[in-house]
Structure formats: structure tokens, C-alpha cells
Structure 1
Amino acid sequence: MLAVVGGTGLYGLEDFELITRHEGDTPFGRPSGPVLHGRFGGRELLFLARHGDGHRLLPHEVNYRANVFALKAAGATHLLGFSAVGSLVEPVAPGQLAVPGQYIDWTRGGRERSFFGGGVAAHVSTARPVSAAMVDWIAAGAARLGLPLHRDLTYACVEGPRLGTRAESFMLRQLGGQLVGMSNVPEVFLAREAQMGYATVGLVTDYDCWMDDPAHHVSVAEVFARYGATLAQARQLLHTLLSLPQPEIEPESRQALASALITPPDRLDAAQRAWLAVLQA
């Protein structure tokens, strides 16, 4: 089942027909809000607002483990995120859509970034963290709408919540970053640990602050001024995607734990076996 994680500005889906609300804690704490199971665009899906109702949570405050676990427990096999992003390269212009294929983790270590630890050891490959099949699916939907879409970009994730310095913007460009954001890490890596296919549609709002002209430097006011029109495109894209066949997820995602677990099953307690069974499903 497809799970949609709504980012800034996407806190719900219009005309969403609710079937069930999944609420409460997970073994990793409380998610950002309830997981909504319903029908949208003629298809059943799950929806979760990453930052909570009313955007209560800053990126570093989001309980990404609880969010991803709650979606997996509710039946998710595909996770499609929507996120505001800044552009670190001139061809990717504000107002356009961009899909990352790679990630640079430049967060500062304060986020819980793995389900594993505390007596359960695993090392999951993230060489290709994004589902290529899902990216192709997104590109097909954008082409059907005639929307320009940049794909296979590198997203540099920073801690936030402050907006970056020019020195940081130049550094991320030198590292190979083409997009910058605050919310896709560790979400992308947790989705792999949960054996889900993952892709994000980035809504490009600004050029961060690497350009010489200060008029192009990011500000919250500028982000929201541009965001509405781009968000409308993203909603159109989601409707179109739901009319296309759902892609088959690659084995490297759906079987990510097959050779990653190190701790023998007989060394796990009942609680550990229970949450691990959800990830392995």
C-alpha cells in the first residue's frame, strides 16, 4: 500500500475518504500524528503529516522512527514524501519539482537515525537509497501533466531549524549537493530499514543563499510566497500517480534485512522480535 508523507503545507488531502485512523504510540514513541487510512483518487492509501497538524514540529523534532514504523505497521510498502527544498544549482529553478536519487547526511547527530541498536544489530545497505521504480513512476506522472521534473539529484540534509550561511551553501555545492532540505534524513534510511520503497517529490522554493544577488537568498516569506503554486502542482501530480499502476519495488528495498541482521533471533527478547517482525513483513 502507498503511504504519503506530507511536508510543509501538505497537512491533509482534499476529498480524502477516511476509513481508519491509526493512533497511539509505537515501540519507538509517538508519531507526528495519526496515520490516516482512506481512499483518495480512487485508491486506498495511508497519509501522515510529517510536521504534525498545524506544523507543530521542526525537522529536528520529528520522530522519524515512530512515523516510519507506524506507516509500516499500517500496511505501507511504498513511501512517497513531499518536501520543500532549496536549489543549489541554477538549472533547478524555484517553482519546479525535483526528485532526489542520492542523499548527503549533514545533520548534526541529534536525530534517532536507525531502528537498530539496544541489543539488535544490523547494517543495511543504502548505496542506492531511493527506489528507481518509484522515480520512474513519478516521472511518468509528471510527463503526463507536462510538468518539468528534475530527477536523480543529490539532496543534502542539514539540521536546521535556522536557514544556512553562504559558506555552508558553497560547501554543500562542493560536496555535490544539488538540493538542500531539513527533513528527508533519516526518513529515507528508515524506510530502507523497514523494507519499503522510498522517493520524495521536492518542491523547489528558492536558491538557498549561494547566488551573489541577495534577492535570490532564501527567506521564510519567499518560501511561502512561491510554495502555494508549486504545492498545487504536487497535488495534481499525486492525483495522476494514483491513476497509474503502482510500481513494483526492487528487491534491494523489499528484502533489505535479508542479509543485514547480525544478532541471532534466539538472542532477542519478545518485544524486539515483535517490532522486528513488523519491519520484516
Structure 2
Amino acid sequence: MEKLAIIGGTGLTSINTLEITQREVMHTPYGEPSGPLTHGKMCGREVVFLARHGTGHTIPPHMVNYRANLWALKELGVEKILAVAAVGGIREDMPPGKIVIPDQIIDYTYGRDHTLFESDLTHVTHIDFTEPYCNEMRGLIIEACQSSGIDFTDNGTYGATQGPRLETAAEIDKMERDGCHLVGMTGMPEASIAREFELCYATCAVVANWAAGRSEGPITMEEIDRHLSSGMERVAAILHHLTPYCYPT
């Protein structure tokens, strides 16, 4: 049976509808994951949940141990991963509150442990990353969005920046010229490491704010929290419909 994992980002450190059965502390060859792995059931199906930034939301994006997180999920037999992420909207059609299922990504991060293939190799390994998200998982998320009746966009390019600071208006202008629709801080190397582990991984992005220079005044945490609160309610509805789709009869 295929096992589903949910990686929760900012605004999603727990899932109220998850019937928790146990929490498991794991140790990996890459160090410690962000926190305990939470096992439970949703809609009668087995689900594993991991808070990307830790249960207390204390781990900044550039300090997340992406390799350890994904190794732990792989070790538990996870095959499919839904990664929830809070992002900023760059294009006019990506306003705060929007749910987006991106299909492409551009990596602007640096200095992160971004691959499994760097030492004790028998040969140099290159992975195909033409389509960075698993099309099967994207299709399941899109189907769940449609079933829940939630307004969403089924494509877009996620620009992954280093953080933890937010971007300048000029940086966002450059990202838009590069073709980015969204900006976030955790999309890479999470997506590429998932591919190296041969995990079926896709992202559900919640637009929490306009990106820098796309609205009047500075970006505030009050604005972000307000949009995340309503956005995560929609994510919960998506999860309710998604879980059965990930476990075909």
C-alpha cells in the first residue's frame, strides 16, 4: 500500500483532522530531521506528517535539514509527498489567498546541502529534473482541489530564494523577468532531493502575501498570518479529498 506524507510549512505545524497514533523520533545518516515524525490516520488511511520548520516553527528555511527529512520519510516507506508551502505572489493572477499547484521551479538558493550524491560514489550521478514535480502527485492534488470546490491555479513557476529575509523589490522584478509566478524559501533543495530519493513529490502553495514591490507599503507578519489562516483552512479541505485518492482500491 502506498503511504502518503505531508510536509507542513509556515502555517501548518499540525493537522487537526489527523488521528494521531504515534510520534516517532528518527536518526538519519544526514543528521536529525526537523522533528518527530507523526503517524496517524486521515479518512481511514495511514498518513505521516512532518513539520518542516519544527513543531515550534523555530527552524529557518536555510537551516532545514532537507536530506534528513526526506531520508526519514523514505525509511518509513513513504512513496507520495504533498509539500505545503507559504509563498508570495509575483504575478497579478497570484493574489494573497490563492492556492497554486506549481509545475516548475527556479533555484536561487546557495550554501544548502542540496544532494545525496557528493561522497563515496562509485560513479557521478545526474538526475533528470526537467519536470521537477511528480506529475502523478500533481494530478491527485488537482483532482482533490476540484472535488473540494476550491479556487486554485494548476500551474506556475516557484522561485526558491535563500531567506530568511524577504526579497527586495528589484529582486522580485528580476524573478518575474526570469518567469517566476511565486516566491518561497523552502522549495529547493526539497524537491530535487525528493527526486534523488525517487519519491513522488509535489507542492501545494498558499499565497500568503504579495511579493516585495507588488503592493503599497512593507510586507507585515499580520498580513501573512491573516491570509495563511484562511489558506490553511482550504488546504485542510484539499487534504480531506486527497488522502483517499492516494490509496487506490
Shorter-chain TM band = over 0.9
CA distance in 2 between partners of 1:228 and 1:10 (Å): 9
Q: State the shift of 1:218 in Å.
A: 2.7
Aligned length: 244
- In the alignment, structure 1 residue 135 sits paired with structure 2 residue 138: yes
User: 2:220 — aligned with what?
Assistant: 219
CA distance in 2 between partners of 1:205 and 1:16 (Å): 24
The structure having more radius of gyration, on CA atoms, is: 1
Unaligned runs of 5+ in 1: 248-281
User: 1:113 — aligned with what?
Assistant: 114
Q: Which has the higher contact order (CA 8 A, sep 6+)?
A: 2
Alpha carbon RMSD of aligned pairs, Å?
1.4
Matches within 5 A, 1:13-52: 13-52=15-54
User: 2:83 — aligned with what?
Assistant: 81
CA distance in 1 between partners of 2:12 and 2:35 (Å): 13
Q: Is the 8 A contact 2:4 2:246 kept in 1?
A: no
Residue type of the alignment partner of 1:153: G
User: 2:235 — aligned with what?
Assistant: 234
Question: SS of 1:60's equivalent?
Answer: helix
CA distance in 1 between partners of 2:246 and 2:32 (Å): 32
Question: SS of 1:171's equivalent?
Answer: helix
CA distance in 2 between partners of 1:76 and 1:6 (Å): 15
Matches within 5 A, 1:52-201: 52-107=54-109, 109-120=110-121, 121-201=124-204
| TM-score (ref. length: structure 1) | 0.83
Deviations 1:217-239 (A, max 9, x none): 53222111211011101011101
Question: SS of 2:244's equivalent?
Answer: coil
Q: Is the 8 A contact 2:45 2:247 kept in 1?
A: no
CA distance in 2 between partners of 1:96 and 1:24 (Å): 34
User: 1:267 — aligned with what?
Assistant: none
CA distance in 2 between partners of 1:106 and 1:221 (Å): 26
Q: State the shift of 1:246 in Å.
A: 4.1
Residue type of the alignment partner of 2:221: V
Residue type of the alignment partner of 2:128: S
Question: SS of 1:232's equivalent?
Answer: helix
| TM-score (ref. length: structure 2) | 0.94
Deviations 1:100-120 (A, max 9, x none): 11110001x211000111122
User: 1:5 — aligned with what?
Assistant: 7
Q: Is the 8 A contact 1:22 1:74 kept in 2?
A: no
CA distance in 2 between partners of 1:17 and 1:229 (Å): 22
CA distance in 2 between partners of 1:221 and 1:59 (Å): 20
Q: Is the 8 A contact 1:23 1:34 kept in 2?
A: yes
CA distance in 1 between partners of 2:18 and 2:224 (Å): 27
Q: State the shift of 1:141 in Å.
A: 1.1
Question: SS of 1:36's equivalent?
Answer: strand
